[in-house]
């Protein structure tokens, strides 16, 4: 990329110093404070740092950190990649990611849904990668219909190329605003936020999944050139080639993330077969999907923050003999409103041992009681493990599904125990 | 329908438009609290492309974003089924966006007044600020419900007309206007406590059941009562 103007260079240096200080004093990973300091010195810094690069912006309700990581992993085939892999997904985080890697021509930035129009305008990216939109932390997040409309409008004002999930009506409608698009049939398990036409409000016809169409205005699912075949664990490329996925990240949601990543990497000129090989190298993303061994039991940590995420996590649970711990908090990063617990169907848990934990475990308890799922209440993971081991000394595995701060608490407590 | 005519018929209106955050909880908890007392139930889901059946016992309307709210109101007015059921004396329980649209009028996102279904004598407008957070209110003593808690997340402000009465007096949070929360008129009841208002307030769920089937056997306190007490203590701390 070209040399930065002096003021932008200074801004960038100051930002990086602040970031180092933040890390050295143990106050954070520096992604946010560094960007904040730099922006004070040069408000156009993000645009300047983005110039001359081939950027992909990645946004969605769920899977944006993972997909960003997957795309970056693939693009490292060509050399350095500038990316915000710690999930600092607002402009300050983007500035830090680009400042930290000035020479990288390729970049992949995870973008918070609300900030997408602004970052799109500032960075003029080659690709915008969109996966899904569903209800999430509604006490502080935007309404998703409004969000989709803002995406659509912003995309229409660019010459960017969208790579998007055709199976999510809200995402597809937003993506159809862009001048160019590659459509991926990545699937949609959670459909409760897309029964109505984003264009006119009509009740969508969704008879043969993944097809959808509006009988009132005619809006319909765009034809996809890439597809995931979950039953056969296969990615179908535009030329019809079937590529076995065999990902090390679990579940259909990660097959969808991999397909989107492969379609994006293809935009950079990478062959999908090679992309998938590189994606298999990823075994955990910022602690997600990590297993920690504690008290001789393998504890797998699944982060899920909203109804769509919980539904995906239920689908990747180990066989019923493996117990599951559900942990829910309602701090600001989680959303202070636990109403979403009522949107999920828990009856699939009836045949397994279930424990509830976290600051809002009473909400979970009532929810499970209502669905007639037997459960036990617990304070800590090690207490559950001790109880299970006392009953069944040969127990080897436990799954944990937790929302954001509950996940962080468990990870801090057990993440380093081997 | 013929073999279930004795069942309590719970009609969930427009889950495709008005089910933003946990509204399903109200359906599930009514069903459970009825069945624990040996009252059989029948759940009917009415999509926005369907007509609203008139022969229901309890009609439930949930919350919704601005655009789905307008669509739901327009479709309900054009359909007429809910208004006919209400005129017949059916029970209606509506939360948040659903509460606003069963009134005489409500405000859209540019503060223009739009006509509601008109079965509850309230008029809602758009306020200056958004009310977001835990809410606590004391229900009109004659209803025998006591103190209710929930989560509110709305920008509406609601004025109650002479045909309706405020459901409760606000203790914490905003509700209709900082002073009262919700409204009722006969067996039509609306509230800003969004999402799972009935799971969080078992006594309110039992009020609706009592309206339909008369005196109820008491249930032993369980997780619902415990959650109610826990949230109440947390909200007032």
CATH class assigned to B2-236: alpha beta
Query: Sorting pLDDT into bands at 50, 70 and 90, what band is A290?
Result: confident
Q: Is residue A1 over pLDDT 60?
A: no
Residues 6+ positions from A25 with CB-CB distance below 8 Å: none
Q: If we measure between CA atoms, which residue out of A141, A139, A150 comes closest to residue A117?
A: A150
pLDDT at A404 over 70: yes
Surface-to-core class of residue A319, CB atoms within 10 Å of its CB (0-12 exposed, 13-18 middle, 19+ buried): exposed
Sorted by sequence, the CB contacts under 8 Å of residue A271 that are 6+ apart come out as: none
* 3-state class (DSSP) for residue A133: coil
Name the class of domain A291-414.
alpha beta
SS3 A36: helix
Residue pair B167/B178 in contact (Cβ under 8 Å)? The answer is: no
Q: What is the mean pLDDT of residues A177-181?
A: 96
Which are the catalytic amino acids of B? 96, 194
pLDDT higher than threshold 50 for residue B4:
no
CA B22, B24, B29, B30 torsion-angle sign: positive
Structure-block tokens of residue B91: 């029970």
> What pLDDT is stored for residue A164 in this prediction?
98
Q: Give mean pLDDT, residues B4-21.
A: 88
* pLDDT tens digit sequence for B41-96: 999 999 998 999 999 999 999 998 888 899 999 999 999 999 999 999 999 999 99
**pLDDT of A73 above 80:** yes
- The tokens of A49 are what? 């740092």
Query: For A38-60, what is the mean pLDDT?
Result: 88
Residue A27: the pLDDT is: 56
Chain mean position to CA B47 = 18
pLDDT-based confidence at residue A42 (cuts at 50, 70, 90):
low
SS3 content of chain B, % helix, strand, coil (to 5): 30, 30, 35
Q: Do domains A45-279 and A291-414 have the same CATH topology?
A: no
- Contact status of B28 with chain A (Cβ, < 8 Å): yes
Of B66, B196, B224, the CB nearest to A339: B196
Q: What's the CA gap between A126 and B148, in Å, rounded?
A: 52
Going from N- to C-terminal start, the domains of chain A cover: 45-279, 291-414
User: Any idea where the domains of chain B sit in the sequence?
Assistant: 2-236
Q: What ipTM was predicted for this assembly? A: 0.95
What is the assigned CATH class of domain A45-279? Answer: alpha beta
Q: Which residues of A133-157 are buried (b: 16+ CB within 10 A; e: fewer)?
A: bbbbbbbebebbbebbbbbbebbee
State pTM to two decimals.
0.88
Closest CA to B62 of B167, B207, B182, B195: B195
* Rounded Cα–Cα distance for residues A110 and A375 (Å): 37
Q: Which residue, among B12, B19, B20, would best test binding to A if mutated, counting the most A CBs under 10 Å from its CB?
A: B20
Which structure tokens are listed for A306? 């909203």
Residue A372 reports pLDDT greater than 60: yes
Tell whether A144 lies on the interface with B, counting CB pairs under 8 A. Answer: yes
- A210-240 pLDDT, tens digit each: 999 999 999 999 999 999 999 999 999 999 9
> In chain B, which among 103-162 make CB contacts under 8 A with chain A?
132-134, 151, 153
Higher pLDDT, B78 or A23: B78
Whether pLDDT at A322 is above 70: yes
Report how far residue B10's alpha carbon sits from residue A183's, in angstroms, rounded to the nearest whole number.
41
Distance CA B224, CA A364 (A): 11
- Residue A93 to residues A9, A83, A120, Cα–Cα distance (Å): 17, 9, 15
* Residue-averaged pLDDT of chain A: 91
Q: Which two tokens stand for residue A174?
A: 């937003």
pLDDT value, residue B163: 98
Inform me whether the pLDDT recorded for A320 exceeds 90.
no
pLDDT average, residue stretch A52-67: 96
Q: Which of A137, A145, A337, A367 to mutate to test the interface with B (most CBs of B within 10 A)?
A: A337
The answer to whether residue B224 neighbours chain A at the CB level (below 8 Å) is: yes
pLDDT on residue A417: 39
């Amino acid at each position: 990329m070209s040399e930065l103007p002096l003021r932008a260079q200074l801004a960038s240096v100051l930002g990086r110093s602040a970031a180092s200080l933040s890390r050295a004093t143990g106050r954070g990973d520096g992604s946010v404070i560094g960007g904040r300091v730099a922006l004070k010195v040069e408000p156009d810094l993000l645009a300047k740092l983005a110039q001359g690069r081939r950027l992909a912006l990645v946004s969605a309700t769920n899977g944006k950190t993972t997909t960003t990581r997957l795309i970056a992993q693939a693009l490292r085939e060509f050399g350095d990649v500038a990316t915000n892999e710690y999930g600092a997904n607002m402009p300050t985080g983007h500035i830090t990611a680009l400042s930290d890697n000035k020479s990288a021509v390729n970049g992949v930035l995870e973008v918070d849904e609300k900030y997408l129009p602004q970052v799109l305008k500032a960075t003029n990216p080659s690709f915008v990668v969109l996966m899904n939109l569903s209800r999430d932390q509604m006490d502080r997040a935007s309404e998703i219909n409004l969000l989709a409309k803002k995406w659509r409008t912003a995309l229409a004002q660019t010459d960017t190329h969208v790579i998007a999930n055709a199976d999510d009506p809200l995402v597809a409608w937003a993506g159809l605003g862009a001048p160019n698009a590659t459509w991926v049939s990545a699937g949609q398990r959670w459909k409760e936020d897309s029964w109505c036409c984003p264009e006119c409000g009509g009740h969508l016809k969704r008879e043969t999944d993944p097809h959808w169409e509006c009988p009132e205005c005619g809006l319909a699912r765009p034809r996809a050139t890439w597809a995931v075949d979950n039953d056969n664990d296969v990615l179908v490329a535009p030329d019809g080639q079937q590529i076995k996925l065999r990902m090390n990240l679990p579940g259909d949601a990660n097959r969808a993330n991999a397909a989107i990543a492969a379609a994006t990497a293809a935009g950079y000129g990478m062959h999908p077969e090679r992309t998938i090989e590189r994606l298999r190298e990823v075994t955990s993303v910022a602690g997600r999907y990590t297993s920690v061994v504690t008290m001789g039991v393998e504890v797998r940590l699944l982060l899920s923050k909203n109804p769509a995420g919980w539904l995906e996590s239920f689908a990747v649970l180990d066989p019923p003999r493996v117990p599951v711990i559900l942990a829910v908090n309602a701090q600001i990063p989680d959303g202070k409103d636990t109403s979403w617990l009522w949107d999920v169907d828990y009856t699939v848990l009836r045949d397994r041992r279930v424990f509830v934990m976290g600051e809002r475990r009473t909400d979970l308890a009532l929810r499970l009681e209502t669905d007639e799922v037997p459960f036990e209440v617990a304070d800590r993971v090690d207490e559950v493990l001790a109880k299970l081991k006392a009953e069944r000394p040969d127990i080897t595995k436990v799954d944990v599904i937790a929302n954001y701060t509950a996940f962080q608490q468990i990870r801090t407590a057990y993440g380093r125990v081997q | 329908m013929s073999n279930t005519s004795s069942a309590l018929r719970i009609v969930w209106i427009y889950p495709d438009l008005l089910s933003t955050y946990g509204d399903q909880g109200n359906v599930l908890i009514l069903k459970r609290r009825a069945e624990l007392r040996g009252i059989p139930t029948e759940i009917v889901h009415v999509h926005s492309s369907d007509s609203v059946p008139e022969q229901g016992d309890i009609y439930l309307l949930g919350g919704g974003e601005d655009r789905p709210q307008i669509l739901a109101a327009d479709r309900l007015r054009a359909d007429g089924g809910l208004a006919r059921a209400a005129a017949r004396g059916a029970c209606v329980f509506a939360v948040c966006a659903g509460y606003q649209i069963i009134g005489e009028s409500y405000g859209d996102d540019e503060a223009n007044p739009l006509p509601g279904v008109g079965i509850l004598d309230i008029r809602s407008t758009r306020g200056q600020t958004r009310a977001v957070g835990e809410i606590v209110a004391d229900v009109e003593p004659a209803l025998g419900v006591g103190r209710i808690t929930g989560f509110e997340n709305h920008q509406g402000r609601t004025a109650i007309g002479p045909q309706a009465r405020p459901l409760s007096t606000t203790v914490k949070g905003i509700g209709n206007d900082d002073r009262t929360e919700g409204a009722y008129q006969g067996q039509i009841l609306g509230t800003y406590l969004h999402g799972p208002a009935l799971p969080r307030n078992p006594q309110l769920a039992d009020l609706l059941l009592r309206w339909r089937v008369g005196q109820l056997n008491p249930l032993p306190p369980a997780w619902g009562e415990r959650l109610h007490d826990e949230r109440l203590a947390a909200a007032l701390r």
